[in-house]
Amino acid sequence: MARLAFGGDYNPEQWPESVWHEDVRLMREAGVTTVSVGIFSWALLEPAPGAYEFGWLDRVIDLLHENGIDVDLGTPTVAPPKWFYDQRPDALPVTADGARLGFGSRGAICHSNQAYRDASTRITEQLARRYGKHPAVVMWHVHNEYGVPVSACYCDGCAAHFRRWLAATYETVEAVNEVWGTAFWGQRYASLDEIDPPRTTPTVGNPAQQLDYKRFADATMRENFVRERDVLHRLAPGIPVTTNFMTALSQCDSVDYWAWGREVDVVTNDHYLITDGRRTHVNLAMAADLTRSVAGGDPWLLLEHSTSGVNWQARNPAKAPGQMARNSLGHVARGSEGAMFFQWRQSRRGAEKFHSSMVPHAGTDSRVWREVCELGSAIGQLGGIEGTRTVADVAMLWDWQSWWAQNLEWRPTEDHDARERADSFYEALYDRHLTVDFAHPEADLSAYPLVVVPALYLATEAASLNLREYVENGGTLVVSYFSGIVDEHDAVHPGAYPGAFRDVLGLTVEEWSPLLAGESVGLSGPDGSRVTGDVWTEFVVPRGAEPVWTYEDGLTAGRPAITRHAYGAGTAWYVSTRLGASDLDTVLASALADAGVGDRPELPRDVEVLTRAGATGRYVFVINHTPDEAKVPLADPGVDVLSGDRVSGRVCVPAGAVRVVRVEA
Ligand code: GLA
Ligand code: ZN
């Protein structure tokens, strides 16, 4: 993008044309640069099969262009019209229980359905031909949030498509029988043609089959994205193509964004605060870091977040004054090339009429509108940072496929939650003011002094080798329990746990022993330090590693609980129980010392300091989430980008405010 983007989803079809003129006037007042248009407009663009009505969209796009506003143009393939389903009811998805979902919401799509594929190709071709040369169109927005609300369909068409996927992946039924372990419970197949999707079964279904079905469903959605993308590339060359991700929201855990990141021209993300009582800005930081990582560290764009409350959680509080700007600029600090919202004007009708927007029901004499205008002006002043990259300190391994496998049924305890471990490790690093890159387990890790591995249940041979090499070459690794247990088919690595990581960790685990609800165990460590674990304990047998903390009670009393292994030029730590935040911090402090990563004791809790650097300079973002003024030391003097004031020594950031300093170094 040529400039930082500020704007949101614009749905003019919900309003009479007279409102459009007020819309663009207000957009200019707010400093809007970019809007996403047409995401759900198929039924209006093609009201009857093959009969197109582009006039209204022509007028909208021209009006925006006349007012200097760029368009991120949707392909409306998430919302096929009713006539389409009446012709092809088989395009409606079927649940694992065999229920066919109905029309009247959105995203009711069987991604294997050929009629859906053909119809969505045709509407995409029409849009590409008509608008591919329009100077307002700066990006294509394919579909909407693949993976929600439906991530997999279990219809007969999908069954046939799954068989083709299995044939392409494994070639023979023997290979499928082998990797799925169908010898267990008598599930052996004589031919690929016998295989169905993992529909609802009397008790636990084959885990490897379920895992493969998740891969298949993800790949099937990706086929559809790639097909539309290729149409757009062919008919409208030069315009980048994206689709909006939801990287760190557990509402959307069915998409392997590492694979998708390679297919889009620009990574874009949607993020909403999860108001479940936890610190929302930490989840936001994690989502933004993960999105940047999926983009390979390149700039990305926050395509949707909210000006205030959403309307789809159990409780939807408004944002506090200043919180929207902190959220938006928090994403920018972590690599977003701007900040966009769902949606421009709050709907009067429909399912999302209580979701906040840039122009609220309360109108322009409102706090939300005033803050929107202030933010638009701030983002305008940040021009120059485009293309700079966020500087990270450490890495965390992250793998959607491992998460899928981990979440299958009949695990040693239902209290262990891989996502909870990732959140907790992230929060501990966040509280140490470390900027985190996420990395795929097989990615090059050599740039990072420290890599943490929270509950990576599934690890391939390649990941195992990767971590050995990383530590051998001087890296510091911290691995939490229930990691490196199975291969890509959910088969236990041969020998003692944790098969993929026992060499690098210098230990084996004879047996694990999850704790009962409410139970905990004490651990004693160096200089009398004590920490507490819950949920999980293990019988760890050191094979080169030294015990650093030891279980004091429970079945594992007297055995090593947290170990350190000097391996090659590096060090690998293992944490065999679940530690709470402050105890995790104690252990991370030791690992960070091994890694030579210094403390930042001068920074208060909940004050973020991030750096974006590149050809146009070095920008330090200070985001103060606290109710007190924060004074943050600056290594080099600079200029406050938003006020133009010179700053040296330290920057003072009022309660709840954000400062961006362009430093001279
Ligand atoms: C998602 C969707 C939007 C809207 C918002 C707010 O991000 O992409 O269409 O539904 O959520 O709920
Ligand atoms: Zn289907």
Q: Dump pLDDT digits (tens) for 423-475.
A: 999 999 999 999 999 999 999 999 999 999 999 999 999 999 999 999 999 99
pLDDT bucket at 612, cuts 50 / 70 / 90: very high
- For residue 104, tell me if it sits in a domain: yes
Nearest CA to ligand 1 atom 4: 342
* pLDDT for 341: 99
* pLDDT for 243: 98
Asked whether residue 479 falls in the same domain as residue 616, the answer is no
CB 179 within 8 A of CB 211: no
* pLDDT for 252: 81
Helix (H) or strand (E) segment spanning residue 228:
helix 207-235
What tokens appear for 29 in the block? 């007042």
Q: pLDDT (tens digit, 9 = 90+) per residue, 258-310?
A: 999 999 999 999 999 999 888 999 999 999 999 999 999 999 999 999 999 99
Rg (CA), the chain: 26
pLDDT bucket at 85, cuts 50 / 70 / 90: very high
- Between strands 546-551 and 538-542, the pairing is unpaired
Instruction: Round to whole Å and give the CA distance between 399 and 233.
Output: 29
The answer, yes or no, to whether residue 1 has pLDDT greater than 80, is no
Q: Closest ligand to 89 CA?
A: 2
* pLDDT for 299: 94
Asked whether residue 362 falls in the same domain as residue 451, the answer is no
How many angstroms separate the alpha carbon of residue 45 from the centre of ligand 2?
25
Asked whether residue 441 falls in the same domain as residue 546, the answer is yes
The answer, yes or no, to whether residue 225 has pLDDT greater than 90, is yes
> Which positions are annotated as active-site residues?
145, 304
* pLDDT for 2: 79
Of 385, 418, 444, the one marking the end of a domain is 385
- For residue 92, tell me if it sits in a domain: yes
Which CATH number characterizes residue 492's domain? 3.40.50.880
What tokens appear for 613 in the block? 């650097």
In the chain, % of residues over pLDDT 90: 97
Q: Is the pTM of this model over 0.95?
A: yes
Query: CB of 307 closer than 6 A to ligand 1?
Result: no
Query: CB of 308 closer than 6 A to ligand 1?
Result: no
Closest CA to 339 of 3, 2, 5, 1: 5
Asked whether residue 502 falls in the same domain as residue 651, the answer is no
The parent domain of residue 273 ranges over 5-149+239-385
The answer, yes or no, to whether residue 511 has pLDDT greater than 90, is yes
Asked whether residue 325 falls in the same domain as residue 416, the answer is no
The answer, yes or no, to whether residue 324 has pLDDT greater than 80, is yes
Asked whether residue 28 falls in the same domain as residue 137, the answer is yes
Nearest CA to ligand 1 atom 9: 342
What mean pLDDT value characterizes the chain? 97
* pLDDT for 47: 98
- For residue 193, tell me if it sits in a domain: no
Asked whether residue 588 falls in the same domain as residue 612, the answer is no
Q: pLDDT (tens digit, 9 = 90+) per residue, 153-197?
A: 999 999 999 999 999 999 999 999 999 999 999 999 999 999 999
One-character DSSP codes across 58-123: HHHHHHHHHTT-EEEEEE-TTS--HHHHHH-GGGS-B-TTSPBPPSSSS----TT-HHHHHHHHHH
Asked whether residue 266 falls in the same domain as residue 285, the answer is yes
> What mean pLDDT comes out for the span 354-374?
98
* pLDDT for 253: 87
**Residue with the two structure tokens 């009006």:** 63
- For residue 33, tell me if it sits in a domain: yes
Asked whether residue 366 falls in the same domain as residue 430, the answer is no
Q: 350: how many CB neighbours lie within 10 A of its CB?
A: 10
Which CATH number characterizes residue 10's domain? 3.20.20.80
The answer, yes or no, to whether residue 145 has pLDDT greater than 90, is yes
Task: Give the mutation target among 301, 304, 313 for probing the ligand 1 site: most ligand atoms within 8 A of CB.
Answer: 304
Of 360, 385, 410, the one marking the end of a domain is 385
Which CATH number characterizes residue 655's domain? 2.60.40.1180
Closest CA to 602 of 553, 646, 651: 651
Asked whether residue 346 falls in the same domain as residue 430, the answer is no
Q: pLDDT (tens digit, 9 = 90+) per residue, 379-392?
A: 999 999 999 999 99
Tally of domains within the chain: 3
Asked whether residue 378 falls in the same domain as residue 498, the answer is no
The answer, yes or no, to whether residue 665 has pLDDT greater than 80, is no
The answer, yes or no, to whether residue 249 has pLDDT greater than 90, is no
- For residue 223, tell me if it sits in a domain: no
What tokens appear for 376 in the block? 């638009």
- For residue 479, tell me if it sits in a domain: yes
Q: pLDDT (tens digit, 9 = 90+) per residue, 10-58?
A: 999 999 999 999 999 999 999 999 999 999 999 999 999 999 999 999 9
The answer, yes or no, to whether residue 100 has pLDDT greater than 90, is yes
Of 315, 350, 385, the one marking the end of a domain is 385
- For residue 224, tell me if it sits in a domain: no
What's the CA angle centered on 298, arms 292 and 301, to 5 degrees?
60
* pLDDT for 4: 98
User: Can you tell me whether residue 56 is helix, strand or coil?
Assistant: helix
The answer, yes or no, to whether residue 615 has pLDDT greater than 90, is yes
- Between strands 137-142 and 70-75, the pairing is parallel
Count of all residues that appear for the chain in the document: 665
Asked whether residue 14 falls in the same domain as residue 128, the answer is yes
- For residue 602, tell me if it sits in a domain: no
> What mean pLDDT comes out for the span 563-588?
96
In the 8-state DSSP scheme, what is residue 130?
H
Neighbours of ion ligand 2 (CB under 5 A): 110, 112, 153, 155, 157-158
> What mean pLDDT comes out for the span 517-544?
97
Q: pLDDT (tens digit, 9 = 90+) per residue, 620-632?
A: 999 999 999 999 9
The answer, yes or no, to whether residue 250 has pLDDT greater than 90, is no
* pLDDT for 233: 98
